[in-house]
């Protein structure tokens, strides 16, 4: 799944819920700086002003395919991404990240190395109301799973949800 695929799927879910279950209608706002994390880790990535918001984030490989889809539901998007998925910076020249949960979940040592080197990109959907972030996360993961091929299943997700 690419960021464009994710946008289409989120829009499709929004339309479906508005027409079928209006109580679950939500708004989304995409933030995708299209830079490698190692080049922007010390800035407000994926976007200024969203670190204390809730939403769904995608970690993308160098080809722009999602290798992980996760959520932050407690107004802690930045903390979820930085603390759990990249841990601490272990060196700055070149930038290196610790052996995070995300790197440990990688199904291939080369993917884990790219994560530790920060050679991945981040995209995030801010979701309002925040309580629906889990629904959006599971929907995106399910759309990946439904395709059942390496290009669509996020390589670092171990399960849906």
Mean pLDDT of the chain: 87
Note whether residue 18 is domain-resident. no
Note whether residue 44 is domain-resident. yes
* 114: phi then psi, degrees, rounded to nearest 5: -65, -35
How many domains are there within the chain?
A: 1
pTM for this prediction: 0.90
pLDDT in tens, 80-126: 887 777 767 777 778 888 888 889 888 899 999 999 999 999 999 99
Instruction: Count Cβ atoms within 10 A of the Cβ of residue 77 and give its class: 0-12 exposed, 13-18 middle, 19 or more buried.
Output: buried
Note whether residue 60 is domain-resident. yes
Note whether residue 34 is domain-resident. yes
pLDDT value for 31: 92
Note whether residue 4 is domain-resident. no
pLDDT value for 95: 81
- Is residue 148's pLDDT more than 70? no
Note whether residue 117 is domain-resident. yes
Note whether residue 58 is domain-resident. yes
Instruction: Give the domain range for residue 119.
Output: 28-126+138-161
pLDDT in tens, 43-54: 777 778 888 899
pLDDT-based confidence at residue 71 (cuts at 50, 70, 90): very high
Note whether residue 11 is domain-resident. no
């Amino acid at each position: 799944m690419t960021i464009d695929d994710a946008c289409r799927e989120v829009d499709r879910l929004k339309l479906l819920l508005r027409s079928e279950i209006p109580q679950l209608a939500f708004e989304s706002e995409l933030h995708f700086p299209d830079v490698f994390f190692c080049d922007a880790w010390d800035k407000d990535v994926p976007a200024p002003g969203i670190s204390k918001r809730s939403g769904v984030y995608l970690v993308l490989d160098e080809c722009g395919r999602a290798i992980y889809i996760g959520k932050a539901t407690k107004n802690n998007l930045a903390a979820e991404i930085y603390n759990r998925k990249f841990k601490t910076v272990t060196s700055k020249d070149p930038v290196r990240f610790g052996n995070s949960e995300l790197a440990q979940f990688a199904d291939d040592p080369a993917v884990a190395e790219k994560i530790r080197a920060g050679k991945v990109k981040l995209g995030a959907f801010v979701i309002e109301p925040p309580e629906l972030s889990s629904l959006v996360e599971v929907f995106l993961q399910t759309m990946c799973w439904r395709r059942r091929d390496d290009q669509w299943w996020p390589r670092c997700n171990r399960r849906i949800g």
